[in-house]
Amino acid sequence: MTPETVVEVGQQALMVVVLLSAPVLLTALTIGLAIGMIQAATQIQEMTLSFIPKLLGMFAALVIAGHWMLGLVVDYTLRLYDSIPGLIG
């Protein structure tokens, strides 16, 4: 196994992690920004106000994108298993 192969497998793994985390993190970012703008406009400075909408939005993002996320992980795992003979020898 060459160093280039290790770097390539690691790069693919990091890309899968980024793609998996993107829907949930972007949803939380968008909801947090919207709640923050509402809080700034109304001068309500309650820290716990944004928690429940973020939680519900992240759950909705997981429900909507969950099938795609599972398919992405399964596809990566199958590609990794298929490449084991080439990685070893």
What integer pLDDT is reported at residue 74 of this predicted model?
Answer: 97
Place of tokens 């939380």: 28
pLDDT in tens, 66-81: 999 999 999 999 999 9
In this predicted structure, the answer to whether residue 47 has a pLDDT above a threshold of 90 is: no
Cα dist from 74 to 20, 38, 68, 80, whole Å: 12, 40, 10, 10
pLDDT in tens, 11-27: 999 999 999 999 999 99
Band (pLDDT 50/70/90 cuts) for residue 57 is very high
